[in-house]
Copies of this chain bind each other. A is one copy, B any other.
Amino acid sequence: MPKKQKMTDSKKKLTTLKELGEFGLIDKLTKDIKLKHPSTIKGVGDDAAVLDYSGKQQVVTTDLLVEGIHFDLMYTPLKHLGYKAVVVNLSDVFAMNATPKQITVSLALSGKFSLEAVEQLYEGIYKACEHYQVDLIGGDTTSSVTGLCISITALGEIEKGKAVYRNTAKSGDLICVSGDLGAAYAGLQILKREKEVFLVNPSSQPDMSGYDYVLERQLKPEARKDIFESLQKAGVIPTAMIDISDGLSSEILHICKQSGCGAKIMEGNLPIDVQTIQVAEELNMDPTLLAMNGGEDYELLFTVNPNDAERLYEVEGISVIGEILPKEQEVRLFGRGEGSTMIQAQGWNAYPEK
């Protein structure tokens, strides 16, 4: 790491997209699609896909990933990028309490990408489709002036009236989170550090041993289908739910703002992996800050009626990290000592000036 991508590998002759053309490229990328769902009536190959969700409701979500903003191809293998681009959308579908069924994939590609590079990206996309059992039903493939842009829309199925929103948390509800927090951000810091080392001394061999978990969390995250299923099995319907893409701080504020309530988060209950803590120490960062504001965790943050507390214990891999409070009490993080601080919104705020 930073590994050379195949796209810049000059050992074998690569196929330029120019040779193929738009339609050739689309044919190549979509010829092996086998549709999985009866709700997919018609997939790739027409002006639009045709779906039939008869009797069910549907959720729709979309995400746009931009090279240089959301990913750096110097340390992001294209296959992982394709996988992750799908996962971030499916995570939103699970956060609605819905089952993902279809995706569309649009790509803007500059001339630096060969067919082989795009095929790697699609390998990851198809791998995610297989793992999460979703149909790729359409998209758009176009050129770009610089870099790569990936836009994915995911569609999912849900029984009428069963969607779980952000604005329905109630005072007294338990606040729960799946998995652990901050690892993806820790992984990103390691990748950035090794990139700097490499840029200064290109003959250096990056040493990634001991960082496997945080790197995987950054490069190949999973959506929490398992938690979604465990909650269903245990008969727990969250009162409100959101996925953690921008960071816990940002997401708990979304829930509280939209539900019109306050919240208490207990710092001591935040689930943080031991490797995340090690990386935080190494980089002289506060692990709590990573957990609260790191982002890209793709865990589920949800609230549960206290009457469901018993059933909640059947669900593995979740932590109760706090409680929803009346609005007047604000949204606060209670430290391990006595003090508490108000939780601030983060989200991104970087618009490069070009």
Contact = CB atoms under 8 A, between A and B. Distances in A.
Interface residues of A, number: 83
A121 to B, nearest CB: 15
Contacts of A203: none
Nearest to A347: B22
A123 to B, nearest CB: 20
B66 A59 contact: no
Nearest to A63: B140
A64 B151 contact: yes
A142 B92 contact: no
A218 B260 CA distance: 47
B349 A50 contact: no
Interface of A: 16-18, 21-23, 41-42, 45-55, 57-70, 92-93, 95-96, 98, 102, 104, 106-113, 137-140, 142-147, 149, 151, 153-156, 158, 160, 163, 165-167, 241-243, 258, 345, 347-354
Given A51-B57, A54-B55, A347-B22, A104 B243 contact: no
Given A63-B106, A66-B145, A70-B142, A52 B46 contact: no
Contact of A64 (B21, B92, B106, B349): B106
A96 B156 contact: no
A45 to B, nearest CB: 7
A192 to B, nearest CB: 16
Contact of A111 (B107, B241, B354): B354
A48 B156 contact: yes
A52 B58 contact: yes
A155 B345 contact: no
A102 B155 CA distance: 13
Nearest to A147: B145
B22 A348 contact: yes
A107 B60 CA distance: 17
Given A49-B60, A54-B55, A16 B351 contact: yes
B53 A53 contact: yes
